[in-house]
Amino acid sequence: MRLRNRLRTFSLNSFLICGLLASLPHHLRASAPQPDSIQMLRYSVRILPGEPPVLQLTRDHQLAFQFPLVSGLESFSDGTSQPEKLSAIAYTVQQASDQSWTITATAQSSLWASRRFEWRFLPDHVEFQQFARGHCALGRAFFLSNGISNRWDNGSAPGHNWVTTLYADKYFAPNPNLANQFEFNTAMPQILGFSQGRETASEQDFRPERMPGTFAPPPLMLAFHQDHAWTSIGIGAKPGQYQFPALEYSGSRYAGASFFVDYMGYRSLTPDSEFASPSLSIHFAYDPLDVLEKYTAWLDASGFSTPSARHEVAWHHLPIFCGWAQQTVESVPLGRAPNKLATQANYEKWIATLEARHLPIGTIVIDDKWQSAYGGFEVDKEKWPDMKAFVTAQHAAGRHVLLWVPVAHQEGLPDQLCLRYQGKCAGADLGNPAYEEFLRPRIRHLVQDIGVDGFKEDWVGAPALPGLALTTSDARPAFGIEYFRRFQSILWSETHRWKLDALVETQSTNALFRESSDVIRLNDIWYATRNVPDVLRLRARMAFITGWPLVDTDNASSTTLSDWWSYMQAQPSIGIPALYFTTLTEATQEAPSDQDWASLAALWRRYIQSLPTTMHNP
């Protein structure tokens, strides 16, 4: 009786956290002896007791990782995440079948009423997930870690055993950046998704390798290299549960490395609900793209992706002309804004030039800025006095027309549809049903009345700051990656409602976005890029692996003339050929010769003839 009373007092004083009474400390429960290792054909795991217990994962007879058995889950209050302390960890190891094992762990939490952790060890991969009960708002959910080490000390991590020890020498990120760098030293952090002002550098400290966004959000996976072997760490969740901006990797620091997602207080638990984190997977291969393929297959098998909405449409394959680089060529050298040149008169002039060169263009993309306001989806009548007549003329010539659009832009939005930050409208409140009611009729008008054939999506992003007055819920999620998903879903579904063969070009190679995308555009390269075909073949291969068989090759008009021409010759073997200028390359201001243009026209005609007969230009 005395022991029971003492335990009851301890619980009431120390564990009445987040409004629920914590359970009995687990270290007082009896437990049977546990196996201390798990042997699989492709890997093995050794379980080391301690506080916390740790797992050592070995493959090819080399120690690859050391992980804590449990991971932290912060609560969120007063604008910041509150760290969790885990103690009294108990676990059981069970052989689930001839080919799989499980470890189930529990722990006492300083924040949550109950905590549970599940590991699954299967022949070809490992899975981890954590669970919690309570009624607090959620902060950062860690994987294979609890807290983040500083550069010179433990930081918020309780110690070395509470973060991941990496024995890899580098990692691969399927997250293209303007330096075209895909492999990084393990000390380099990585944000797979969206962030707020944490990736770019100043004009004086320009670091293009920290400027991703080309495939935003990319697959939420990193692949770690060790002696010719690649081992991935990635996460997935059911659609609707991507209520965080990114998967973040801290880089390997003093104590080790951390992986986490941040809910920033926008998601909360109720007393009768249980939090289930995204699932983490570890896969094994000998090439980074092979391990990306295994990770993608796991997403599909687990229900963590969406099926492709794409249908085979003949005109989607035809060569593209987008006027953006020509807009910059005629403006930036003169100190003017390129978006001022997105006019009906200019596009008619540029198309006439292409016609004179007998270039068989199938799709015209009207780029930034045909709108009177970026967020309003209304035609600027001064620039485009008769867009309908322009579209009709292109249709008569056997072409289709796309409009460039940024994601959820604030310009032109009514105040009641705005997300406000520091007193200003910072974007659309996508979870507000009134925003959807605002946007859908505008898309319908452009497609049904004006006659446009689709859209090219750009300026992809999502809020990644706490404290915004977001309209979001589990039933209608509109924070983090789900914020962007909601916009793209509205854009794609409304466009296809009025034109079944429409084309919506997108730029996220995350398998969550297959449901609302027809084609991936390979996106921008930087002015200093060389060996352009190899750079963009790699992007195309990643897109193919994650679920996009057809890509818009975009254009290398920002490089040298010779690099541009080498890429133009390679485009038909990569995806849909594309051209972005009619006179000069952007950076070097070089002009293709008449012979170059004639060769390009012949190349495109051969490409069109190589398509199935149903896909030939009318």
Query: Which two structure tokens, joined as six digits, stand for 253?
Result: 């620091």
The 3-class SS string of 66-102 reads EEECCCCEEEEECCEEECCCEEEEEEEEEEEECCEEE
SS3 298: helix
SS3 576: strand
Question: Which 8-state DSSP code applies to residue 445?
Answer: I
With beta carbons less than 8 A apart as the criterion, state whether 281 and 539 touch. Answer: no
Q: Write out pLDDT tens, residues 417-459.
A: 999 988 899 899 999 999 999 999 999 999 999 999 999 999 9
With beta carbons less than 8 A apart as the criterion, state whether 388 and 450 touch. Answer: yes
What is the DSSP track for 315-343? GGGS-EEE-HHHHHHTTGGGT--GGGG--
CATH class of the domain whose range is 314-409+444-459+501-615: alpha beta
Low-confidence ranges of the chain (pLDDT < 70): 1-17, 19-32, 197-202, 614-618
Q: Write out pLDDT tens, residues 318-372.
A: 999 999 999 999 999 999 999 999 999 999 999 999 999 999 999 999 999 999 9
Query: Which two structure tokens, joined as six digits, stand for 469?
Result: 């007055």
Query: In angstroms, rounded to a whole number, what is the distance separating the alpha carbons of residues 383 and 338?
Result: 13
Cα maximum dimension of the chain: 97
With beta carbons less than 8 A apart as the criterion, state whether 556 and 587 touch. Answer: no
Query: In angstroms, rounded to a whole number, what is the distance separating the alpha carbons of residues 175 and 190?
Result: 9
Hunting for tokens 């990120």 — which residue is that?
173
pTM for this prediction: 0.94
Residue 173 phi/psi, 5-degree rounding, is -120, 125
pLDDT at 17: 59
Question: Which 8-state DSSP code applies to residue 447?
Answer: I
Q: What residues are paired with 1 via a beta bridge? A: none
Q: Which of 280, 281, 248, 283 is nearest to 262 (CA)?
A: 248
With beta carbons less than 8 A apart as the criterion, state whether 316 and 518 touch. Answer: yes
Query: In angstroms, rounded to a whole number, what is the distance separating the alpha carbons of residues 243 and 481?
Result: 6
> Residue 324 CA to chain centroid, in angstroms?
24
pLDDT at 4: 34
Radius of gyration of the chain (CA): 27
Query: Which two structure tokens, joined as six digits, stand for 200?
Result: 């770019």
Q: Which of 499, 570, 564, 494 is nearest to 527 (CA)?
A: 564
Question: For residue 519, what are the CA distances in angstroms to 203, 310, 400, 549?
Answer: 33, 8, 15, 8
Query: Which two structure tokens, joined as six digits, stand for 548?
Result: 């996009």
Q: Where are the strands (E) in 111-197, listed by range?
A: 114-121, 125-133, 138-143, 165-166, 170-172, 183-185, 190-193
SS3 279: strand
- Which residues, 6 or more positions from 541, have their beta carbon under 8 angstroms from its beta carbon? 289
The full set of domain ranges for the chain reads 2-167+232-281+291-302, 314-409+444-459+501-615
With beta carbons less than 8 A apart as the criterion, state whether 91 and 55 touch. Answer: no
Query: In angstroms, rounded to a whole number, what is the distance separating the alpha carbons of residues 542 and 60?
Result: 26
Hunting for tokens 């030939």 — which residue is that?
616
Cis? peptide before 369, omega within 30° of 0: yes
Output the CA angle 323-325-327, nearest 5 degrees: 65
